[in-house]
């Protein structure tokens, strides 16, 4: 079974600084997708960034980028120029590339942004 | 384009009772999944529905059941509620064949007393 591990229960960053959230996963599949979701106090899971395993290039979405190391099964999220609105729970998630769209989540990292 | 809406937002039930949670999927999406998120944990996959049939199930007992309707909306039913069923229940919709990721609702907070 696939597992996702987030080893940092909490992280903090100063406004305008950069922070990196860690995620490792375990799978025997070669075709899969990885995601970072943000969950603010409103409770809705918001997709931050997505990475296809077959793509070697790291995904980037504005201030958010990932460092995808397939051999090491590592998928970290870098947030640049942190803003107060970035404060939230961040979940790393895995999904097989087949027809089953089950997402497997990590336990999350609570990010605090200090002004 | 409408997002995913869930109702109710909060619910309190007594142990042993039954509950029905509802979800309207995002316009254009044909697949609905349900997740249980216990306090301080990541969401756990309950099951997924496609074409009104269950299409994958997580490690949840049969007292967790669901329905999907022709308009792709969905219900989650839980019978014989237990205290450990207290959690945030998230509904997510997607389009089969499209791996851009789910669109989630804001969830129903269920408290079992």
- Whether residue B98 is predicted with pLDDT greater than 90 in this model: the reply is no
pLDDT band at B102 (very low <50, low <70, confident <90, very high): confident
Closest among B41, B58, B57, B40 to B49, alpha carbons compared: B57
pLDDT tens-place string over residues A77-88: 999 999 999 999
Q: Which residues of A touch B31 (CB under 8 A)?
A: 101
pLDDT for B1: 56
Closest among B110, B70, B63, B65 to B90, alpha carbons compared: B110
Report how far residue A105's alpha carbon sits from residue A10's, in angstroms, rounded to the nearest whole number: 16
Nearest CA in chain A to B33: A102
Residues in Cβ contact with A4 at an 8 Å cutoff, skipping those fewer than 6 apart: A23, A24, A25, A92, A93, A94, A104, A105, A106, B42
Q: Where are the beta strands (DSSP E) in A23-108?
A: 24-26, 32-39, 46-52, 60-61, 64-69, 74-79, 88-96, 103-105
Q: Does A50 touch chain B (CB under 8 A)?
A: yes
On whether the CB atoms of residues A23 and A76 are closer than 8 A, the answer is yes
Smallest Cβ–Cβ distance between B107 and the set A43, A46, A91 belongs to A43
On whether the CB atoms of residues A27 and A2 are closer than 8 A, the answer is yes
pLDDT tens-place string over residues A11-67: 999 999 999 999 999 999 888 999 999 999 888 899 999 999 999 899 999 999 999
pLDDT tens-place string over residues B30-63: 889 999 999 999 999 999 998 889 988 999 999 9
């Amino acid at each position: 079974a696939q597992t996702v591990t987030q080893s940092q229960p909490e992280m903090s960053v100063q406004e305008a600084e950069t922070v990196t959230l860690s995620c490792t996963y375990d799978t025997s599949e070669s075709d899969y997708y990885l995601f970072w979701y943000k969950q603010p106090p409103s409770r809705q899971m918001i997709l931050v960034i997505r990475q296809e395993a077959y793509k070697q290039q790291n995904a980037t979405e504005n201030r958010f980028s990932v460092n995808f190391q397939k051999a090491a099964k590592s998928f970290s999220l870098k947030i640049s120029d942190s803003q107060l609105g970035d404060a939230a729970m961040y979940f790393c998630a895995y999904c097989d590339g087949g027809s089953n769209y089950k997402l497997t989540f990590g336990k999350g990292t609570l990010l605090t942004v200090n002004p | 384009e409408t997002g995913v809406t869930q109702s109710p937002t909060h619910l309190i039930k007594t142990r042993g009772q039954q509950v029905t949670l509802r979800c309207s999927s995002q316009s254009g999406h044909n697949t609905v999944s349900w997740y249980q998120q216990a306090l301080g944990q990541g969401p756990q996959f309950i099951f997924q529905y496609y074409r009104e049939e269950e299409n994958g199930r997580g490690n949840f007992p049969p007292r967790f059941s669901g329905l999907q309707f022709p308009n792709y909306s969905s219900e989650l039913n839980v019978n014989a509620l237990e205290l450990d069923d207290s959690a945030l229940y998230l509904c997510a919709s997607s389009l089969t064949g499209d791996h851009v990721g789910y669109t989630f609702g804001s969830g129903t907070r269920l408290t079992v007393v």
